Structure 1
Amino acid sequence: MNETNPVRPLGWGRFLLQFLTVLIAYFVASVPAVLLLGVTAWGYLLSVMGSMAAALLVAWLWLRRDGALAQAWNLARPDSWPRALAIASGATLVIVFIFTASGPVIDALGLDQVDVELIMQFITESPLMLALWIAGVAWLAAGLGEELLWRGFLLDRLMRLPGIEGRIWIAIVLQAVLFGLPHLYQGWGGVLVTGLIGLLFGWLRIIAKWNLWPLVIAHAAVDTIMMGLGYAAAQDWITIG
């Protein structure tokens, strides 16, 4: 990564403090909406958006304090938008293929299949709810938020740690594992698939010359496609599987 300004050195203790405070902010902020609105489409929508906003705020404070904000959250204009969009398009196709082809592999490993039934129940309640989930979750919380958090904040922090600094693939693997584990609510199959996608996104950050836009676009596009297909299937417009 190109450094233009000195960045505060990062040790393991400081990293753990940063990571834990981001996680605490995420989980604490996820509670109020569900307590107030229950396990509903609105409750989960606001919970997901609120928790991501809180986590990003804490991550932003740490990155800014350490002088690493510009490197970690590189949302500058890409050197070439056609190249950035080509990377995003290719990644979208690969990830959709991974989701499509992962079923038999998960079965062969004896793991539970990826379970997104609850989310699909929410987004298929109405066209309005589909639009809100696409905008609020697919594009903001997941597409933009998760890339800033995992491939931005976390990958940057890991790459600066003693013993990992200069070993980019160790950092990429670790962030992929940590990215996959929170998806345990989808079953171990969900953890496996999400972790694999985390590896791909980590590699894409290198290919994209550390610019986050191709990753944000690909992530949001995949979630939009999946939500759209789920809604279409619920309306009997198409048949899946």
Structure 2
Amino acid sequence: MWQSDKSGALRGPADWTYPPTLSPADRYDRRRLGWEIAIVLLVSVGQSAIYSVVSFVRAATRAPISQQQTQLNPSRSAEPLWDAIYQFLDIFFSLALVALAVYLLWEPANNALRRIGLDFRRFGGDILRGVLLVVLIGAPGIGVYAIGRSIGQSITVIPAPLDSSWWVIALLVLAALRAGLTEEVIFLGFLFDRLRRLGWSWTGIIVSTALLRGSYHLYQGWPSALGNVVMGLVFGWCYKRWGRVMPLVIAHTIIDIVAFVGYPLAAAWWPAIFAPPAPASTPTPTP
């Protein structure tokens, strides 16, 4: 029987392995968990990772990477009101996938949100840890993108314009929250729990989820993918140590708010690094 301690971290057998001979019920549980992991990934971050890899391969076989563009939060309609409606619906249905992952983690008398640490019991400490991670990960992440652009290996990222409608910034903040919840709850809260139950080691889980996170961002170029692998390793270690996903959601959300809202300002201040060149092609970002 799998249980969690007061920190929310999973606890189980000392060696986290199954006995050599599994009962039919154990074999059934392992098959069910395997299918559960596959289905959740194929409708969420795994699907986006596949699209991202395909987009990168397509971009790499066309014009030079440095001459290509991709867009963050692309417009869904030329009419501002309908664009806002479509953007909001996209965020809503993405959060429904997060809710699905949490629902699958729920067990009788075992609150899934409390178990993975997605609650407000330690919100002050979670904010402090989240801000610390922003400093540790956010600033180097900007540097990785700048280096990638300077060596011609990063696709130019075009942010959503901030002056099209009054609600744009609010939608970008919601999009950043969506990204934080989607990636951290599924990559960490869900996959860590399920892979642990299958007997994976902590090292295997942290490395594999970090690589999946990197492939999820490959459409921006390999430097950004590599930066996200490092981010995944750091976040995975922090989740194992803290047993709480909330500070990681906070950090990810703040990083993306800075990227979504602050990037247009950076493009205006440092056009040589952030402003787009004349496009050769525009790879489609992951859905």
Normalising by structure 2, what TM-score? Answer: 0.63
Taking structure 1 as reference, are residues 24 and 115 closer, same or farther at Cα in structure 2, changes over 3 Å only? same
What stretches of structure 1 of length at least 5 have no aligned partner? 31-36
**Other-structure match for 2:21:** none
**Other-structure match for 1:13:** 31
Q: Is the 8 A contact 1:23 1:55 kept in 2?
A: no
CA positional deviation for 1:47: 6.4
Cα distance in 2 for partners of 1:192, 1:43 equals: 34
**Other-structure match for 2:136:** 94
**Other-structure match for 1:33:** none
**Other-structure match for 2:193:** 156
**Other-structure match for 1:57:** 99
Task: Please state which structure has a larger fraction of its residues in helix.
Answer: 1
Cα distance in 2 for partners of 1:144, 1:161 equals: 24
**Other-structure match for 1:144:** 181
- Partner SS for 2:270: coil
Taking structure 1 as reference, are residues 190 and 9 closer, same or farther at Cα in structure 2, changes over 3 Å only? farther
Taking structure 1 as reference, are residues 129 and 177 closer, same or farther at Cα in structure 2, changes over 3 Å only? same
Cα distance in 2 for partners of 1:199, 1:6 equals: 21
After TM superposition, the structure 1 = structure 2 runs for residues 14-163 of structure 1, keeping only pairs within 5 Å, are: 14-26=32-44, 37=76, 42=84, 45-46=87-88, 48-64=90-106, 69-70=112-113, 73-79=116-122, 81=124, 83-103=125-145, 106=148, 112-113=153-154, 115-117=156-158, 120-121=159-160, 125-134=164-173, 136-139=174-177, 141-162=178-199
CA positional deviation for 1:199: 1.2
Select the structure with the greater relative contact order (CA < 8 A; seq sep ≥ 6). Answer: 2
- Partner SS for 2:117: coil
After TM superposition, the structure 1 = structure 2 runs for residues 147-226 of structure 1, keeping only pairs within 5 Å, are: 147-162=184-199, 164=200, 167-207=201-241, 209-226=242-259
Taking structure 1 as reference, are residues 194 and 111 closer, same or farther at Cα in structure 2, changes over 3 Å only? farther
Q: Is the 8 A contact 2:209 2:232 kept in 1?
A: yes
- Partner SS for 1:116: strand
CA positional deviation for 1:26: 3.2
- What one-letter code is carried by the residue in structure 2 that aligns with 1:63? L
- What one-letter code is carried by the residue in structure 2 that aligns with 1:25? V
Taking structure 1 as reference, are residues 228 and 55 closer, same or farther at Cα in structure 2, changes over 3 Å only? same
1:239 matched to 2:273? The reply is no
Taking structure 1 as reference, are residues 6 and 170 closer, same or farther at Cα in structure 2, changes over 3 Å only? closer
CA positional deviation for 1:91: 0.4
- What one-letter code is carried by the residue in structure 1 that aligns with 2:154? Q
Normalising by structure 1, what TM-score? Answer: 0.73
Cα distance in 1 for partners of 2:86, 2:40 equals: 20
Cα distance in 1 for partners of 2:226, 2:152 equals: 9
Q: State percent identity of aligned pairs.
A: 24
